[in-house]
Each structure stands twice: as structure tokens, then as C-alpha cells.
Amino acid sequence: MKDALVIGGGPAGLMAAEELARAGHAVTLTEAKPTLARKFLMAGKSGLNLTKDEPREAFLSHYSHPQIAAITREFGPEEVQDFARDLGIELFTGSTGRVFPVEMKASPMLRAWIARLERLGVTIRTRWRWQGFDGDGLVFDTPDGRQCLYPDVTILALGGASWPRLGSDAEWVPWLATKGVTVSPFQPSNMGFAIDWSPHMADLLGQPVKGAALITPTRRTRGEFVISTRGIEGGGIYEISAELRDGAPLSLDLVPDLSVEDLATRLAKLPPKQSLSNRLRKAAKLDPVKLALALEWGRPMPNEPAQLAATLKSLPVPLGPPRPLSEAISSAGGIAWGSLTDDLELTDLPGVFAAGEMLDWEAPTGGYLLTACLASGRHSGRAAAKRLATSS
């Protein structure tokens, strides 16, 4: 039996630890926080979206890098659902294909998973904060003082740089950089964008925008989002946030089920003497939130029906900067793929593997993030176990 160390107690680290333990190795899992998987638990507060039940190729198309897509191909939506059910978690699939536990919580799944790891013999150490390297050893600040471990293999699953209060603080970046590992700069992902609202929007802040199409130079999607005191956020925005972060313009189609011509015909049937708000409500069937956005971003509104219809079908959104990294759901950036083998082993640190959001990839919310974290933890755990099995 050989010693394996997993640093990081999120889903990727837990999965890596399980694979190593199943292969018959002595596994120690360390976590800097007092409890495991805090970001996982936080995600579960609004209903734990485990994965999305959709054709595999469509699912894999949401990943920013082909290597994380290839890894997730091995452990995708069906496998994640089987994994959860094997832990005793009953699931259901919503109308959009998103898969949730019936209890809509993360804590029952986490408790069952930890119990299984303990039965497999995994040693869990909380409040063990990794402090970098000391020669061939890995140094930890622990409740019992400084500890230095010398495992046969190590898997790093320390998360990215979003939600630092939950543990993903990217403190590890300089320690790997001194070992020759290339780390791409972190950027916010799945985040909102600032909007400078006028006073007349005050009563509508916090309201969802439903049934609009979001248009970028490369995509047209339908997704709900929320107008907040700070700007716009929510699933519809998160799905296109990478493109917006990189400077793409955004516009809204407030009447996506009508063509410009049909909408213009409806507008032309109303007497011009009616107020603009009445014309938009009656002809375009805009609800109060959409009407407010049309008046906020479309002024000066043209009176001619065809031009007014064109404005409603392509309403420019005056995006401000993305919300900061500390507020983002996830992060882009991390260990560059050129510093990794196909097994997720660091080329400059033989015997050290990485998994999860430490790697340079991103994906939208909706189950894609968690599925890839689980898949990469499984992949690195199996690779590390194989290395141990073949080493002298």
C-alpha cells in the first residue's frame, strides 16, 4: 500500500480520493476550512444542479477547452446521475433538462459521500492549510502546528479564484509558478455585469426578465436573467458571460416570437396619438419589466412602426464591466494545459496531479461546472492510482 495525498475537499478532491482508495492505497485528504465542500454546499442552497440531461455532444459543446471536454466525455451526465443514485440520492429532471436531488439540497449527498470515503479508509484532515513546498515535502499549517508530508503521489484540487471566502482563493499560484508551472491569469466567469440604471428603474430592481432573447455576435439564446441594483445577472447572462467579458456587445429581442414585419404591422394598427407606453403594451405585449427596459435603453424611441419594431427586436444593452472575481460563481484561468499531461499530471512535478477549477477551463452554470469537476477528479485519481501501481 502506498501513500496518496489529496489537497482540497471539494467535489474534485473527494472524487480523486475515492478513486485512489478504491485502488487500495492509503489516502489522506486535507482541507483548509473546518468542513468539506463549502462551495458545493453553497451551490445547493438554491437547489443543487448536479448535471444536465441532454445529448452528450450538446453537453460537451459548452466547455471552453477540448481536453476538459474529452475528460468529461468519460464521465458525463448519465454517469453523474448514476454516481448520485449510488449514494442513495433520489433525482429528478426539470423541464429544462437540469438534474436535481429530490431534496434540492447538497448536504445529504455530501454526508453520504463522506461516510463512504471513511468506509474506504480515507483519512480526512480539516483545518490543514497547504503552505507550499519544502524540498520534496508539502507543508501544512495545522491545528497541531507545522506538518510536512511526503506522499508517493499528490492530487491538487484547490479550486479556482472565485468565492475566496469559501476556500477558492488561488493562494497556490506562486507556489506552482516557482516550480515552473504555467498558470493563466484568473478572470471572473458566470458573473453579472454592471449597469448604470436611471432613477425610474428603482421600483423594478430585483425583478426577473423572462421570455427575451439575448443576442451576441455569435449566439442567440433564450434565458432568464435578473435586473439588480448592481446591473444584470442570472442564468441567461452567465451562459454568455465569457463572450461578454471579452468585449462582445449584447442586445435583447424583447419580442422574440414575432418577426420585425409582424411586430411593425401590429404597431401600425394602433393610433399614433396613443402614448408610447400604451403602444408597446398593446402591440408588443411587453410586461412591466420589459417595458421599463425598452424605455430605459431605447430612447429616443422612433415613432415610425418599422423602426420602432426594429428597436424592440434589437435593443442594445449598455454593459458596464463584469462583476469582480470574488463575486463570480466560477473562474476562468488556472493551470495551463501545456503544463499538464493527458493524465492531468504536472509535467514539471512528476507524481503531482491537478483537478477541478484549478485547471484553465470554463463552462456555464446548469450542471456543466460540477460535472467537469467530478470528471476531472475521477480522471486524475485513476491516473495517480495507475502511476502508483506501475512504480517500483
Q: What is the CATH number of the domain that holds 173?
A: 3.50.50.60
| Domain that includes residue 280, residue range | 193-316
In a shared domain, residues 127 and 220: no
* Per-residue cell: 126: 480539516
Task: Choose the final residue of a domain: 266, 295, 316.
Answer: 316
Report pLDDT digits (tens) over 256-270.
999 999 999 999 998
For β-strands 26-31 and 123-126, DSSP reports them as: parallel
Q: Are 81 and 91 in contact (CB under 8 A)?
A: yes
Which residue type, as a one-letter code, is found at position 73? R
C-alpha span between 386 and 307 (Å, rounded): 65
Q: Are 339 and 203 in contact (CB under 8 A)?
A: no
pLDDT at residue 154 in the model: 98
Q: Give a yes or no: residue 91 inside a domain.
A: yes
C-alpha span between 8 and 168 (Å, rounded): 9
C-alpha span between 136 and 16 (Å, rounded): 21
pLDDT at residue 247 in the model: 95
In a shared domain, residues 183 and 243: no
Q: What is the average pLDDT score of the chain?
A: 95
Residue 184 forms beta bridges with which residues? 334
In a shared domain, residues 225 and 272: yes
Q: Give a yes or no: residue 260 inside a domain.
A: yes
Q: Give the single-character DSSP code of 342.
A: T
In a shared domain, residues 133 and 231: no
In a shared domain, residues 181 and 216: no
* CA distances from residue 96 to 52, 57, 100, 240, 241 in whole angstroms, order as listed: 8, 17, 11, 17, 20
Q: Give a yes or no: residue 321 inside a domain.
A: no
In a shared domain, residues 38 and 179: yes
Q: Give the single-character DSSP code of 345.
A: B
Burial bucket for residue 27 (CB in 10 Å: 0-12, 13-18, 19+)? buried
pLDDT at residue 208 in the model: 96
Report pLDDT digits (tens) over 270-304.
887 888 889 899 989 999 999 999 999 998 888 89
In a shared domain, residues 36 and 184: yes
The tally of CA atoms less than 13 A away on the side-chain side of residue 47 is 13
Q: Which residues of the chain have pLDDT under 50?
A: none
Q: Give a yes or no: residue 168 inside a domain.
A: yes
pLDDT at residue 144 in the model: 96
Residue 51 forms beta bridges with which residues? 99
In a shared domain, residues 149 and 205: no
In a shared domain, residues 131 and 225: no
pLDDT at residue 392 in the model: 60
Alpha helices in the chain (DSSP H): 11-22, 38-43, 56-60, 66-74, 77-86, 107-119, 173-177, 235-238, 241-245, 260-268, 276-284, 288-297, 305-313, 368-390
Task: Choose the final residue of a domain: 259, 292, 316.
Answer: 316
In a shared domain, residues 61 and 141: yes
| CB within 8 Å of 119: residues ≥ 6 apart | none
Task: Choose the final residue of a domain: 298, 316, 334.
Answer: 316
pLDDT at residue 45 in the model: 81
In a shared domain, residues 204 and 177: no
What is the enclosing helix (H) or strand (E) of 258? Answer: none
- The angle subtended at Cα 128 by Cα 125 and Cα 133, nearest 5°, is 120
* Per-residue cell: 201: 428603474
Q: Give a yes or no: residue 22 inside a domain.
A: yes
Q: In 3-state terms, the chain is what percent helix, strand and coil (to 5)?
A: 40, 20, 40
At what angle are helices 368-390 and 66-74 packed, to 10 degrees?
Answer: 80
